[in-house]
A and B are shown apart, each in its own frame.
Chain A
C-alpha cells in the first residue's frame, strides 16, 4: 500500500511522528496524543493502522519508529506542509498560526502538480520582491469586496464525539461475524472492565467476531489467538474501529 490510500488523519499522525522523532529520536503514543490533541485510544487505533500499512514499527506500549517507506511519505507530507505554510505567510500575508492551521488541513490530497505550481509561485514571489509587494497591495484592496461563504466548517459544539476522528467507532456488537476491528476503548467500570483487560482485551488489540450463539446472544470472539465468549451487554462496552 502507498500513501494514496492514507486518509488525511493518518497523514497527520505520520507527520506528528516524523516531527517528534526529529527532536527526540523515538515517539511514544502519549506524545502523539498531546501533539494532535486527541485521546490516547484514538492514537492507538491510528498507529495500528499505520503499522499495518508498513509505515511505522509499533507494538502497544512500546515506542514508535518510522519504516523507510514511512520516512519517505512523512518527509513528503512534511515538505508540502512547509510549502503551503510559507505560501500562506509570504504570498497571502496570513498570520503564522492561521497559516499553520490552514496548511495542516490542506496538505492532504494535494496533487504533485498542484504542489509544483505552488512551489513555483512561492519561488517567483521570493525572487521578485517588487512583484510580491504589488500583489499584496492589490489583494488588500479587493479583499473587502469579495463575499465568501461563511461557516463551512462543521461546528463541534454539539454533543457526540469530541473530535470528528472518533466517528468511525462503534461497539463490538455492530461487527459482523467473520469481521474484525481494533479496540479503541473499553467503557464501564469495575469487575467487567478488569476481567476484560485480564483476558487480553486491551486498547489497540485486534478482535474478530467469530459468531453469535444460536439465540444471537452471547457472541464468540477471537482475540490474542484464542476464543472467548461474551454476552451482548458486555460486548457493548467494547468500542472498536472496524477494520
Chain B
C-alpha cells in the first residue's frame, strides 16, 4: 500500500523542518513544469505503508494571487493527495488557522500538526486539543519538528485518515454577513445551473467574490458566464455600498471571525508573563544605532566565510582537477579523444565544481540567517534604502554577494518572495563586479595608470559596479517595471529561534545538489563547446611550421640553453596565438572586430572578451596568448604590459575595462540566471541589456574622450 501526503502551511510554520524530520535526507525536488516554485518530495515508510510526502510551498492563503499559492492550490485540486497535513505554528494559532479554514472550504479535511508545541508549553500556555478537534471536526496532533516529537503519531493519524477517505467530508462554510451570504448563495445557484459538472459550487461562488483570476478563467467563455459575472458585479457594488466594505474583505473578515471564536474556546493562556527573549534580542539587532554596524559585521563574516574560507576547498578541487588532467594525459593515447577528455571534459567538470564551496558556505550562512529569523530583520532595516531604487530589503544580500561571485549571489535571490523583486534582483546582480573580473582591472590599472592603480581598481570594482547597479535599478523601476505596483512588503517578523544543525545542513546540501543537477550538465556542455571552438579547426600547417622552428632551435648549437628555452617559449606563445586566431573563436573575434572598434579595441580584445564568457579570469590569460606574451602569471607579466601598451591607449584601456565590468557574465552565471528566471524572454533580455549597456558606455566614454583629446 502506498499513499501520498501533502504538507501545507504558512511560511515560518516549521513546515520544512517537519518535512525533513519525516523524510530525512531522502528527498528530491519534484519537477512541475514552468514554475519557479519548487515542490519537494520525500519518501518514508510507516508500518509497511509507503508514504510519499510532498512539501508544498509555504503560503499564508490559497487565494492564488502569488505563484506559490497557485502552485499549492493546483496541487491540492488536481493531484488530490490522499491526506493533507496542515502544519501550524501552535504559538500563533489564530493566524495559522486562516489557511486551515481555506483548506476546509475546499472540502479538504486536513490533519493538523500543531508544531512548535515545545514553545507553547515553555510559555506555560496550552491548547485544548479535544475542543479544537471537536469544533473543526478534524484530527490534530502536537508536534515539535525541532525535538522530533509527535512525528510518529502524526504519521499514524495521517494514515488512519487516508483509510477513512471515502467518508463524506462536510465542506466548511463560514457564516458571512446576511447580504453577502444571500449573494453568494445566488451565485452558487446560477453556477449549479450553468456548470453542473463542477463540484463545490459554493467554493467557486466564494472565489468569484474574492475576484480569483483562476476561477474567473475557468468559467470564462462558457455560456452563462456573462450572466454570473454580471450577477457578481451587481451584488459586489450593492454590498460595498451597504456594508461599507467589498465582499473580498468581508469574506476574509468572516473567516477570521470564525477563527476568533475557535481560538477563544481552545487557547488556554498560562499565567506567567515573562518578557520574551526574542523581543530583547530584537532591541539590539534592530537598534537605531547598532543595527547597521551589526548587520555589516554579519555581512562581512558571511562574505569572508564564503569567499576566503571557500578558497581552501577550491584549491583542493583545483589540484584534484590538475592531477586528474595529468593522470589522464599520461595514460591515454595522444589524439582527439585525449584532448576532449583532458581539456574539454575534465576542465569543464572542474569549472563546474569549483563553485560548490562558495555555494555551500553561502547557503549555510543564509539558512542560518533565515532559520534564526535574522533575514527578516535584515530586510526590515535595509528596506528603506533598497526600496528607493525599487528593490526589496532582501535584495541586499544578493547584491553584496555579487562582489564575490555572481553564481551564488543569483541563487541567493531565491529568498525574495515576490517574482518581480526576484527578476529585478537577478537582472541587476551580475553588474556587481565579481572577484573574477579583478585580475583584468589589476592588469590594466597597473599598466596604464600605475600611479593610481589601487584607486582605479577600487573605482571599477566598487564605485562603478554599484553605480551601474543603482543606475539600472532606477531605470528598471521607471521603465520595465513602471506599470507594476510595488509588491506589498508586508512581511512577518518571526520570533528568533535557534536553528537546528540538521535543517541547516539539509538546506545546504539541497542547494549544492540543485546546483549540480540543474546547472552542472549545461555548464559542462557549454564549457566543452567553448573549448572546442577555441581549439578547432586544427591547423596542422601552423603546428608543423612552429614545431619545425622549435626543432631547428634545438638543433642549432649557437644559443645557450637559457636563450634557447626563452626562444622556445616565445615560439610556443606565438604558436598558441596563431592557433587561437584561426580557431572558430578567433574567426568570430575577427567578425566582431567592427563591434569593438568603436571603443578602441582590436580583434584580439574581441577574442579575449569572447573567451571571457567561459570565465572572466580567462580574459587575462587569453590576452597573454594573443599579444604573444605567454600565459604564466599574466597579470603581473611585464612582457604583457609592454605589449598591451602597444595596442591600447590609457583611454581605450579605460573603455575596455568598462566593457569588462558591464558585459554579460560568465557562462556559469548565465546558466544560473536562466535556471533561476525560468523564462527565456527575461534570460535573453538579461544578456542583451548588459551587452548594450556595456557597449554604449564604453563607446561613449571612448568617443567623448577622443573628442576631448585624451589619449
Contact = CB atoms under 8 A, between A and B. Distances in A.
> Do A and B actually bind?
yes
Interface of A: 28, 30, 33, 39-41, 59-62, 185-186, 190-200, 202-203, 205, 211, 213-218, 220, 224-231, 234
A41 B60 contact: no
A231 B245 CA distance: 23
Main SS class of interface, B: helix
Contacts of B254: 61
28 contacts: A30-B243, A33-B244, A40-B245, A60-B257, A61-B175, A61-B177, A61-B257, A191-B65, A192-B490, A194-B65, A195-B60, A195-B490, A198-B61, A199-B95, A199-B490, A202-B252, A202-B253, A203-B253, A213-B286, A214-B292, A215-B381, A215-B385, A218-B380, A218-B489, A224-B95, A225-B92, A229-B491, A231-B489
Contacts of B490: 192, 195-196, 199, 228-230, 234
B457 to A, nearest CB: 31
Given A215-B381, A231-B387, A60 B291 contact: no
B94 interface: yes
B95 A61 contact: no
B98 interface: yes
Nearest to B210: A194
B384 interface: yes
B376 interface: yes
Contacts of A196: 488, 490
Given A226-B92, A230-B489, A234-B490, A214 B243 contact: no
Contacts of A230: 489-490
Given A30-B178, A215-B381, A228 B245 contact: no
A61 B175 CA distance: 9
Nearest to B178: A30
A192 B493 CA distance: 18
Nearest to A226: B92
Q: Find the residue from B60, B258, B489 having the highest chain A CB count within 10 A.
A: B489
A175 to B, nearest CB: 17
B95 A226 contact: yes
A198 B245 contact: no
Contact of A214 (B253, B287, B491, B494): B287
Given A41-B245, A198-B63, A202-B256, A225 B385 contact: no
Interface string B486-510: 0111111111000000000000000
Nearest to A215: B384
B245 A217 contact: no
Contacts of A218: 380, 383-384, 489
Interface residues of B, number: 49
A184 to B, nearest CB: 10
A198 B243 contact: no
Contacts of B292: 214
B248 interface: yes
Contacts of B98: 198, 200
B110 to A, nearest CB: 18
Given A61-B175, A224-B94, A191 B485 contact: yes
A186 to B, nearest CB: 7
Of all A-B residue pairs in the complex, the 3 with the closest CB atoms, nearest first, are: A61-B257, A197-B252, A215-B384
B264 interface: yes
B261 A200 contact: no
Nearest to B249: A197
B615 interface: no
Contacts of B286: 211, 213-214, 220
Given A192-B490, A226-B95, A41 B244 contact: yes
A228 B260 contact: no
B61 A226 contact: no
A214 B381 contact: yes
